[in-house]
Amino acid sequence: MSERGATSSASPAVGRALDILLYLAGRPGLVQAGALARDLDIPRSSAYHILAVLADRGFVTYIAKEQAYGLGVASFEVGSAYLRHEPLERLARPLLRSVAGKLGQTVHLGILNGAETVYLLKERPAAHRAGEVDIALVTDVGVRLPAHLTANGRAILAHSPEAQLRALFPRPGDLTTRTGKGPRSLAELFGLLRRDRERGWSEEVELVSEGFRSMGVAAFDHHGRPVAALSSTWRRHHARHDAHEVRDVLRQAAGRLTAAVSGRAPATTDGGQ
């Protein structure tokens, strides 16, 4: 078979694989293969074959208990790689500078890469930029930390599908800690994420570093999916502001970033107290 012929014959399968990924991306939960094949008008045998290939590559994950599929880690990493490019950072930078100025605290923009928080931007208050000694934070640009311990990461995880969470944490009984504090099981983590999702913000107290506290709020794309989070960190016992004030400033900035990327916050985000 010629190279042209091979490409032509393979195109339908490639197209169907992309259709499946887009279909799963647009669904809030898991989808059974039969429903997927019916909705996309794909023969069931073809759907199962393509799903098996995508699962083998990590683009979808199969949850045996539900006998259903969801997006896998590889799909999320592709999306995260796109968001690491300059446009998101360019839109977020002035927002972070404004928040740092209002709060007098260090502010970050972070995304998920696998089960880790990756910090893309770090903005310090003007006094720190002018030469004052900054607080000793480990969260510099490019630093990776376990997402389930950071307020930034948890703000994103809280709005991620369960199938993705199970793919990100395949060994749920072995969640790492840095300070001896934090969730130790997937059930405990799910409980924290459920609470964070309902109130619309996340926080950690001394899970990353002793003596420090952080809050995080997610920004969303046009499907209502989390694409990044803004977070602020301060000394636990030397706060400049009430925690509710920090939360409100972060929520306003995250809302502006969501609008800047033509996104929308999901209905479950109510900004609860």
Does residue 270 sit within a domain? no
> The domain spanning residue 246 has which CATH number?
3.30.450.40
Task: Examine the pLDDT at 215 and tell me if it is beyond 80.
Answer: yes
Three-class DSSP category at 190: helix
Task: Examine the pLDDT at 232 and tell me if it is beyond 60.
Answer: yes
By the 10 Å C-beta count (0-12 exposed, 13-18 middle, 19+ buried), 85 is classed as exposed
Global model pTM greater than 0.85: no
Q: Residue 115: CB partners within 8 Å, gap ≥ 6?
A: 146, 147, 148, 168, 169
* Half-sphere exposure (Cβ direction) of 117: Cα atoms closer than 13 Å: 29
Q: Contact 201/155 with Cβ under 8 angstroms?
A: yes
Confidence of residue 261 (pLDDT cuts 50, 70, 90): confident
Task: Examine the pLDDT at 7 and tell me if it is beyond 50.
Answer: no
Structure confidence at residue 167 (pLDDT): 81
Question: 228 and 203, same structural domain?
Answer: yes
Q: Which two tokens stand for residue 155?
A: 């703000």
Does residue 188 sit within a domain? yes
Question: 99 and 116, same structural domain?
Answer: yes
Cα 146 to chain centroid distance, Å, stands at 12
User: Order of strands, edge to edge, in the sheet holding 212-220?
Assistant: 144-146, 116-123, 106-113, 226-235, 212-220, 202-205
Domain end marker among 31, 48, 71: 71
Question: 62 and 93, same structural domain?
Answer: no
Residues 81 and 128: their CA atoms lie apart, in Å, by 30
Structure confidence at residue 172 (pLDDT): 59
The model's pLDDT over 116-156, given as tens digits with 9 standing for 90+, comes to 898 889 998 876 544 444 455 667 787 889 999 999 999 99
Q: Residue 80: CB partners within 8 Å, gap ≥ 6?
A: 111, 112, 113, 118
Region 257-264: what's the mean pLDDT? 90
Region 107-113: what's the mean pLDDT? 91
Residues 83 and 171: their CA atoms lie apart, in Å, by 27
Question: 17 and 149, same structural domain?
Answer: no
Structure confidence at residue 98 (pLDDT): 94
Give the domain extent around 179. Answer: 77-260
The DSSP bridge partners found for residue 61 are: 70
Domain end marker among 71, 95, 112: 71
Question: 215 and 82, same structural domain?
Answer: yes
What is the number of structural domains in the chain? 2
Residues 202 and 195: their CA atoms lie apart, in Å, by 9
Does residue 88 sit within a domain? yes
Does residue 265 sit within a domain? no
